[in-house]
Amino acid sequence: MSVHAKRRLALESVLETAGHDAALITQRANIRYLSGFTGSSGALLIARSGASTLLTDFRYDEQANDEVQGPTRICITRGVWMATLPDVIGEQTRSVVFESDHLTVADHKRLVEAIPDVDCAPITDLVGGLRRSKDATEIEAIERAVSVAEEALERTLAAIDWHDRPTERRVAGLLESELRQGGSETLPFEVIAAGGPRTALPHATPTDRCIEAGDLVLLDFGARVDGYCSDITRTFVVGTPEYWQATIHRQVLEAQTLGRAAVTSGAACRDVDAVTRGVLVRHEVDRYFGHSTGHGIGLEVHEGPSLSSKSEDTLVPGNVVTLEPGVYLPNQGGVRIEDDVLVGEEGPRTLTNLPRELIQL
């Protein structure tokens, strides 16, 4: 049985429990996870009986036939995939769940018009629960995505003369190009490259600001291999760090190191967040840490489980999460250190290998 068939089997038992006849999967990463299809338009219909059909249009005919294995049927249309739904849904189907987070209002209207006799019920996070726990092949892909990203960073750092005042945009562009040339598929997200006071913006977009001597430099970047993402942040300083820069870096590193150690099977995600936050509370800088401690990575760069104070999730072996506390002093500068960590049977395994100390450029 193929890996995709095994995953569909798991989904079928979720449908069985929920009492629905079929699921209409419209989120791209979920379609890929359950069928192997990587095209950007289409849907996957999975019946409780085990039958599955990929609906897509003629642009993806060849690709779908290459990527999708039987017994999944492939249904190609000239127009929108939704039009073929009545033909493939099967007469015995009384209820279908759809991914309410991943269906536009217009498509929802088309859906209920296409199959008026079928009860269409919204559902959230139908596949996310299955995707959280990665198998060996998925973990290996993430590890390769980590390697591609780390090697790209090393080449970028070596290629730039930091005392020549490069712009943030140039640094980001070079790193993006190294990521692609090093083997990354479409980047999981646009590289964040910020210098000086702009490092205080957790999601800064690169500008034409020149990076000056004495600046903190924050780089947040990742690669994608076989669909799987890595997500890494490192913070550097151009020249000798000032006292406050070295101090917040040390505080963030302490929070991040303890946080990584807390990523164990059975741990409540909110407790991991409390560990990193607790260190920053002790140093009285927690008010400068506005986001959550981390998030799952996989086919998407942000997926479950969430390491936040509100999370209801518990870590299980096979989860791969980021650990990324930060301290951002407004108009002054910020530090974030982000690593990718696997929840292993025998404890946490950090997949990222780049040094974490404050490196002077």
Q: How far is the CB of 192 from Zn ion (least distance, A)?
A: 7
Write each residue from 278 to 317 as x if it is in contact with Zn ion (CB under 5 A), else as -, in one continuous string. ----------------------------------------
| 233 vs 235, beta carbon nearer Zn ion | 233
Answer for the pair 180, 224: CB distance below 8 angstroms, yes or no. Answer: no
Q: 281 in the Ramachandran plot: left (φ > 0), alpha (ψ -120 to 50) or beta?
A: alpha
Contact between 99 and Zn ion (CB under 5 A)?
A: no
| 111 vs 229, beta carbon nearer Zn ion | 229
| 233 vs 352, beta carbon nearer Zn ion | 233
Q: How far is the CB of 212 from Zn ion (least distance, A)?
A: 24
Site for Zn ion in 144-183 (CB under 5 A): none
Contact between 322 and Zn ion (CB under 5 A)?
A: yes
Strand residues in 211-319 grouped as ranges (E): 216-221, 224-225, 228-229, 232-237, 294-296, 303-307
Segment interacting with Zn ion (CB under 5 A) among 68-76, 204-212, 273-281, 333-341: 333-341
What is the CB neighbour count within 10 angstroms for residue 304? 18
What is the CB neighbour count within 10 angstroms for residue 84? 21
Sheet holding 22-25, edge to edge: 73-77, 52-57, 43-47, 22-25, 95-99, 119-123
Contact between 273 and Zn ion (CB under 5 A)?
A: no
Does residue 71 have a cis peptide bond before it, meaning omega lies within 30 degrees of 0?
A: yes
d(CA 88, CA 169): 49
Site for Zn ion in 219-248 (CB under 5 A): 220, 231, 233
Write each residue from 184 to 223 as x if it is in contact with Zn ion (CB under 5 A), else as -, in one continuous string. ------------------------------------x---
Number of residues this chain uses to bind Zn ion (CB under 5 A): 5
Residue 99, CA distances (Å) to 24, 30, 170, 222 in order: 7, 10, 40, 27
| 21 vs 220, beta carbon nearer Zn ion | 220
Residues of this chain that bind Zn ion (CB under 5 A): 220, 231, 233, 322, 338
